[in-house]
């Protein structure tokens, strides 16, 4: 129920067996490697560091190749993604033997080379396809040409130009051409989109007196933005050329299809590629960690953090090598900030670790706040989502999710947390009379016993008695805030600062509690009774006494009496902090109401539309289903976030510092697979 | 008649302004989300969650509007003839959620967008982005609470 006790394990291995022993330690996965910071004379890190770096240098390009192949295959993978994969990572089950077999037998470099060749060929083919399509489009536009293309060769006397010009520039060009009407022939071939296509013929012969037409015309054409088209590669008639090109296109498209098929064929290797990819990733990590270990020529030295409770497991695992190894332990010092933190909790508390981790892992010398926040969080989520119907839906959905899919450890914990939230909501919903809104109030008289049953469970309906619900929420907040201060006191006593803890936190707790009870008793009219007056007087007395002690004791170290008293008086202002923390819990009323009122609105809409003759019932049912699912999603999100926020800001701030280091073990990590034995 | 008009105006402002706050906030966050998903489609679920956070202001505004409608009897089909002073009271009671919803929605959207960028760089810390965004929502919650308590106390 706490932060696991850690120890520094030092394994000294006789050189000859060092590789195998390190491999065994890796398989056991119990140790986090420590960086060896000091280099002492007998240890030379350089050769091992060098070997590690070399190995990483070899593995990195292999990893890149495999990742590249996986990316290509992902484009041709036709197996649909489940919708849930957008939110969660699903894992595949693979047996350990299968993984080893794939690593030994699968020729990743060869197959990824084939895949890349195929992909490159496909790219080339697609380019060709594009060019062909462009050519076909062009020739189709030029179909109205009056002569076959082959005859459009320029002769010695006549030059032919076919080209395109933008519509806007046609007028200007024609005007220009008309001035030289006697020397030119032009005809409009076609209009396609923005362009107009022309055939222009003019004299090619450099004879005197023709005004240098063969130079003038191209200049004119260029000036007006006339682009000539090169048709020299075509020799047949337009129709024949089109046919030829179309046949070529069909051929290319066939080859494109084949290439895609081939690539699709490689998709079956995706799983093997993933196994290899993860193997390479882990090997690279392992080499990096290896660089932290040290050795001489005869001896290899592994140093790492592990749980004290894992000592027997480590010794058992290395039993085989016990002649070649020696294990030394050094238990971690309480205040060492470098010790990584592992949280250990009972399995029903573990889902709440998500909340703690979101904020930050506790320091090694701090208590794990998870079991303390668990009951409050459990309760607060239920109060925010006050609808038993939603609780049932949420819990059932989480159970189904965990059964149907293989999830990674973190997601399973989240699903369990949501499951607990659902359970809490069922209880709170039943107590506040929320079962899918107020639909149960509208049942026909035959089923009215259900309504009676629901009323029997209802203790406090926030819609009818909001102020009472608010007071309940505030009291819950006060209890949690008080508990937080109490935990701080406990922590300080544990550290040995008994007097400080009692004088600061202890007195403060007495002060605020005496004020609290004074207020409670006065407001509830207890004061009318004699015993009530006595109790109230006692509370007042305690308040005055503890207030005075606080004023005097708050700034104990100060020798200046006036300053000491002043800062003590100012410290009483902290009561405002307590107020604001408690008031923050009023959001429980707001959130609880939000869920209930929207559920009620959906019920009303569903009932109203089901009055419509014919399809009314159907519409009503659709509104009911979608509306409540929407409300569930939105309010579950809000409930969890606000509950978490209350823990972080109002509860943790009283006693919890966080800032511990995460635990990163020297072991094989898989993102895609769950390995079965 | 003026009283009913004022009450309806209050409800309209509650729904409209709080809805505007949510729309602007979710819009800002959504633009950030689309950018992140363009680079890495795997993060869609996480950024969707962050984008959805500023949505609650609109819902709270709707809630307030609904409460007004039920208070003046509009939902039952039988509108009560409330006088001008009651109408003004209802109008004033709607202002907390209207204004708090508008401003907190926009700013929560901005924090959500920043949280989405945080998730792009460090996907495992998306929870922290969620909490940072939820801090802004406190004021919308308080606004709703104030509106609710005020509406509760008005006699028609």
Please report the pLDDT score of residue A428 as a whole number.
92
Cα gap A125→A119, rounded to integer Å: 10
Segment A525-555, tens digit of pLDDT: 776 778 878 888 888 888 888 888 888 888 7
What does the pLDDT look like over A422-445, one tens digit per residue? 999 999 999 988 888 888 877 777
First to last CA, chain B: 14
From A86's Cα to the closest Cα of chain B, the distance in A is 5
Contact yes or no for A604 and B141 at CB 8 A:
no
- Shortest distance between the Cα of B3 and any Cα of chain A, in A, equals 25
Residue of B nearest to A414 (CA): B127
Q: Give chain B positions within 8 Å (CB) of A634.
A: 52, 55-56, 59
A328 in Cβ contact with A82 (< 8 Å):
no
Write the residue in A597, A638, A644 that is nearest to B66 by C-beta.
A597
A7 strand-pairing partners: A306, A331
**Chain A residues in contact with B145 (beta carbon < 8 A):** 586-587, 589-590
Q: What is the pLDDT of residue A211?
A: 57
More confident residue, A145 or B145: B145
Contacts of B131 in chain A (CB under 8 A): 358-359, 641, 644-645, 648
Chain B, nearest residue to A596 by Cα: B63
pLDDT band at A673 (very low <50, low <70, confident <90, very high): confident
Which pLDDT score, from 0 to 100, does residue A569 have? 85
Half-sphere exposure of A569 (CA within 13 A, CB side): 5
Answer yes or no: do A637 and B142 touch at CB < 8 A.
Answer: no
A515 CB-near residues (< 8 Å, 6+ apart): A539, A543, A575
- Nearest residue of B to residue A466, measured between CA atoms: B149
Lowest mean pLDDT among B29-33, B66-70, B99-103: B66-70
Q: Which of A155, A75, A150, A87 is nearest to A118 (CA)?
A: A75
Q: What is the pLDDT of residue B7?
A: 95
Among A492, A529, A530, residue whose Cα is nearest residue A508: A492
Q: What is the share, in percent, of chain A residues with pLDDT greater than 90? A: 13
What pLDDT is stored for residue A47 in this prediction? 56
Whether the predicted pLDDT of A369 surpasses 50: yes
Q: Does A32 touch chain B (CB under 8 A)?
A: no
Indicate if the pLDDT at residue B104 is higher than 60. Answer: yes
- Mean pLDDT lowest for which of A405-419, A502-516, A660-674? A660-674
Measured between CA atoms, the residue of chain B closest to residue A635 is B56
**Which residue bears the tokens 């065994």?**
A24
Chain-chain contact of B45 with A88 (C-beta, under 8 angstroms): yes
Is the minimum CB–CB distance between A589 and chain B shorter than 8 Å?
yes
| The pLDDT value given to residue A372 | 92
Give the CA count within 13 Å in the CB-facing half-sphere of B72. Answer: 28
Interface confidence, given as ipTM, is 0.77
Is-contact B68 B15, C-beta < 8 A?
no
Q: What is the mean pLDDT of residues A309-315?
A: 85
Q: Looking at chain A, how many residues does it have? A: 677
Per-residue confidence (pLDDT) for residue A213, from 0 to 100? 66
Q: Which residues of A touch B60 (CB under 8 A)?
A: 590, 594
Going through A407-504 in order, the beta strands assigned E by DSSP cover none
In this structure, the strands spanning A661-662 and A340-341 are parallel
pLDDT at A247 over 80: yes
Separation CA A527–CA A539 (nearest Å): 12
3-state secondary structure at position B7: helix
Would you say residue B4 has pLDDT above 60? yes
* Closest B-chain CA to A634: B56
pLDDT of residue A151 exceeding 80: no
Q: Which pLDDT score is estimated for A263?
A: 85
User: pLDDT over 70 for what percent of chain A?
Assistant: 94
- Least confident piece of the model among A180-189, A474-483, A650-659: A180-189
Q: Which residues of B52-68 are buried (b: 16+ CB within 10 A; e: fewer)?
A: bbbbbbbbbbbbbbbbb
Residue with tokens 């030994």: A104
- What is residue A39's predicted lDDT score, i.e. its pLDDT? 41
Q: Which residues of B touch A87 (CB under 8 A)?
A: 44-45, 48
Count the Cβ atoms, other than its own, within 10 Å of residue B4: 20
Residue A558 is given by DSSP the state -
Q: Do A645 and B49 touch (CB under 8 A)?
A: no
pLDDT tens track for A644-662: 888 988 898 888 887 788 8
Which residues are paired to A90 by β-bridges?
A407
Averaged pLDDT, A546-574: 84
Give B38's pLDDT tier (boundaries 50, 70, 90). very high
Q: What is the pLDDT of residue A41?
A: 44
The whole-angstrom separation of Cα B46 and Cα B112 is: 11
Residue of B nearest to A359 (CA): B128
* Least confident window among A114-128, A227-241, B37-51: A227-241
B50 or A216, higher pLDDT: B50
At B95 the pLDDT is: 96
pLDDT band, residue A88 (cuts 50/70/90): confident
- pLDDT at res. A106: 84
A651-673 per-residue burial string, b: 16 or more CB within 10 A, e: under 16: bbebbbebebeebebbbbebeeb
**Which of A590, A597, A649 lies at the smallest CB-CB distance from B145?**
A590
Say if the Cβ atoms of A587 and B55 lie within 8 Å: no
Q: Is the pLDDT higher at A327 or at A292? A: A327
Q: For residues A66-88, give the mean pLDDT.
A: 77
Chain B within 8 Å of A616 (Cβ-Cβ)? no
Phi, psi of A555 (to 5 degrees): -105, 65
- Residue A654: helix, strand or coil by DSSP? helix
Angstrom distance (rounded) from CA A411 to CA A399: 13
Q: Tell me what pLDDT residue A38 has.
A: 47
Closest CA to A642 of B56, B86, B66: B56
Whole-number pLDDT of residue A163: 83
Answer yes or no: is pLDDT of A37 > 60.
Answer: no
Find the Cα–Cα–Cα–Cα dihedral B111, B113, B114, B118, rounded to 10°: 130
Report, as an integer, the average pLDDT of B65-87: 89
* Dihedral angle computed from the Cα positions of residues A177, A183, A189 and A191, in that order, rounded to the nearest 10 degrees: 0
Decide if pLDDT at A197 tops 90: no
**Between residues A41 and A489, which one has the greater pLDDT?**
A489
- Percent of chain B scoring above 70 in pLDDT: 100
Residues 6+ apart with CB under 8 A from B27: B109
CB contact under 8 A, B63 and A598: yes
* CB-based contact A344:A3 (threshold 8 Å): yes
* Chain B residue closest in CA terms to A589: B145
Sign of CA dihedral A536, A540, A543, A549: negative
- Best of A401, A597, A611, A630 to disrupt the B interface (most B CBs within 10 Å) is A597
Q: What is the mean pLDDT of residues A18-36?
A: 79
Which two structure tokens, joined as six digits, stand for B23?
Answer: 């729309």
* Distance in angstroms (rounded) separating the CA atoms of residues B58 and A126: 50
In angstroms, the separation between the Cα of residue A651 and the nearest Cα of chain B is: 14
What is the per-residue pLDDT for A476? 94
User: Quick one: pLDDT at residue A464?
Assistant: 82
Question: Looking at A262-313, which runs of residues are DSSP E strands?
Answer: 294-295, 299-307
Whether A471 and chain B come into contact, CB under 8 Å, resolves to no
Closest residue in A to B55 (Cα–Cα): A634
B148 with A642: Cβ contact below 8 A: no
Mean pLDDT of all residues belonging to chain A: 83
Task: Say how many C-beta atoms besides its own lie within 10 A of residue B78's C-beta.
Answer: 8
| Beta carbons of A70 and A274 less than 8 angstroms apart | yes
Helix axes A466-494, A507-523, angle to 10 degrees: 160
Q: Is the confidence at residue A242, as pLDDT, over 50?
A: yes
Q: From residue B94, how far is each of A231, A531, A612, B76 by CA, in Å?
A: 76, 45, 33, 21
Nearest-CA distance A316 → chain B (Å): 35
Alpha-carbon gap: A480 to the closest alpha carbon of chain B (Å) = 19
A428, A473 Cβ separation under 8 angstroms = no
Subunit contact A586:B45, Cβ cutoff 8 A: no
Residue A575 near chain B (CB below 8 Å): no
Higher pLDDT, A453 or A237: A453
Q: What is the pTM of this model?
A: 0.77
pLDDT at B3 over 60: yes
DSSP per position, A475-502 = HHHHHHHHHHHHHHHHHHHHTT-HHHHI
Q: Do A634 and B131 touch (CB under 8 A)?
A: no
Nearest to B137 by CA among B152, B117, B115, B121: B115
Question: Which residues in chain B are closer than 8 Å to A649, comparing Cβ atoms?
Answer: 135
């Amino acid at each position: 129920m706490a932060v696991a006790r850690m120890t520094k394990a030092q394994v000294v291995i006789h050189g000859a067996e060092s590789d195998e022993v390190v491999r065994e330690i890796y398989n056991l996965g119990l140790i986090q490697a420590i960086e060896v910071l000091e280099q002492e004379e007998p240890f030379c890190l350089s050769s091992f560091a060098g070997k590690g770096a070399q190995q990483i240098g070899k593995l990195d390009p292999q990893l890149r190749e495999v990742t590249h192949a996986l990316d290509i295959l992902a484009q041709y993978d036709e197996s649909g993604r489940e919708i849930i994969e957008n939110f969660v990572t699903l894992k595949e089950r693979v047996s350990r033997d299968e993984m080893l077999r794939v690593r030994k037998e699968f020729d990743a470099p060869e197959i990824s080379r084939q895949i890349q060749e195929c992909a490159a060929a496909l790219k080339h083919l697609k380019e060709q396809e594009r060019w062909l399509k462009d050519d076909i489009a062009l020739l189709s536009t030029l179909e109205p040409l009056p002569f076959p293309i082959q005859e459009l060769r320029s002769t010695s006397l006549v030059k032919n130009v076919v080209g395109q010009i933008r519509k806007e520039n046609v007028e200007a060009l024609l005007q220009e051409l008309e001035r030289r009407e006697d020397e030119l022939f032009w005809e409009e071939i076609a209009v396609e989109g923005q362009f107009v296509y022309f055939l222009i013929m003019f004299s090619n012969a450099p004879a005197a007196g023709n005004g240098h037409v063969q130079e003038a015309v191209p200049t004119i054409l260029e000036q007006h933005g006339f682009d000539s088209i090169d048709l020299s590669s075509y020799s047949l008639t337009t129709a024949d050329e089109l046919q030829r090109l179309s046949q070529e296109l069909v051929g290319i498209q066939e080859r494109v299809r084949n290439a895609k098929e081939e690539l699709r064929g490689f998709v079956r290797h995706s799983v093997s590629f993933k196994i290899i990819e993860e193997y390479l990733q882990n090997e690279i990590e392992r080499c990096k960690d290896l660089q932290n270990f040290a050795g001489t020529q005869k001896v290899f030295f592994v140093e790492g953090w592990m749980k004290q409770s894992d000592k027997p497991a480590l010794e058992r695992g290395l039993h085989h090598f016990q002649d070649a190894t020696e294990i030394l332990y050094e238990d971690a010092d309480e205040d060492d900030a470098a010790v990584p933190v592992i949280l250990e909790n009972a399995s029903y508390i573990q889902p709440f670790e998500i909340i703690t981790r979101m904020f930050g892992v506790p320091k090694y010398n701090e208590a794990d706040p998870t079991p303390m926040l668990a009951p409050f969080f459990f309760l607060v989520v239920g109060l925010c989502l006050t609808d038993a119907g939603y609780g049932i839906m949420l819990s059932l959905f989480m159970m189904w999710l965990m059964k149907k899919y293989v999830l990674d450890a973190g997601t399973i914990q989240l699903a369990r947390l949501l499951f607990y939230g659902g359970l809490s909501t069922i209880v709170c919903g039943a107590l506040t009379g929320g079962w899918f809104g107020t639909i149960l109030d509208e049942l026909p008289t035959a089923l009215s016993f259900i309504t009676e049953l629901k009323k029997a469970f209802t203790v406090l309906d926030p819609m009818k008695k909001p102020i009472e619900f608010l007071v309940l929420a505030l009291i819950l907040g006060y209890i949690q805030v008080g508990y937080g201060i109490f935990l701080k006191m406990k922590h300080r006593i544990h550290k040995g600062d008994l007097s400080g803890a009692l004088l600061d936190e202890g007195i403060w707790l007495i002060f605020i509690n005496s004020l609290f009870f004074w207020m409670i008793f006065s407001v509830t009219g207890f004061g009318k009774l004699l015993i009530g007056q006595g109790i109230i007087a006692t509370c007042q007395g305690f308040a005055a006494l503890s207030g005075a002690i606080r004023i005097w004791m708050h700034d104990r170290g100060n020798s200046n009496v006036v300053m000491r008293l002043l800062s003590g008086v100012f410290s009483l202002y902290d009561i405002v902090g307590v107020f604001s923390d408690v008031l923050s819990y009023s959001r429980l009323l707001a959130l609880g109401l939000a869920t209930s009122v929207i559920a009620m609105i959906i019920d009303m809409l569903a009932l109203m539309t089901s009055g419509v003759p014919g399809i009314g019932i159907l519409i009503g049912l659709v509104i009911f289903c979608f509306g409540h699912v929407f409300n569930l999603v939105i309010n579950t999100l809000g409930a969890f976030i606000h509950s978490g926020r209350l823990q972080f800001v109002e509860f943790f701030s009283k006693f919890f510092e966080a800032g511990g280091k995460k635990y990163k073990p020297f072991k094989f990590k898989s993102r895609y697979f769950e390995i079965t034995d | 008649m003026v009283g009913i008009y004022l009450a309806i105006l209050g409800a309209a402002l509650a729904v409209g302004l709080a809805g505007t706050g949510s729309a602007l906030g979710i819009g800002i966050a959504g633009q950030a989300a689309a950018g992140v998903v363009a680079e890495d489609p795997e993060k869609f679920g996480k950024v969707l969650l962050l984008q959805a956070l500023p949505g609650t202001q609109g819902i709270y505004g709707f809630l307030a509007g609904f409460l007004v409608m039920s208070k003046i009897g509009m939902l039952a089909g039988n509108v009560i003839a409330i006088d001008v002073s009651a109408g003004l009271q209802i109008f004033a009671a709607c202002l907390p959620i209207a204004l708090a919803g508008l401003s907190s929605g926009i700013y929560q959207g901005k924090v959500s967008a920043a949280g989405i960028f945080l998730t792009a760089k460090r996907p495992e810390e998306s929870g922290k982005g969620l909490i940072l965004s939820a801090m802004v929502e406190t004021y919308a919650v308080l606004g709703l609470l104030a509106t609710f308590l005020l509406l509760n106390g008005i006699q028609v």
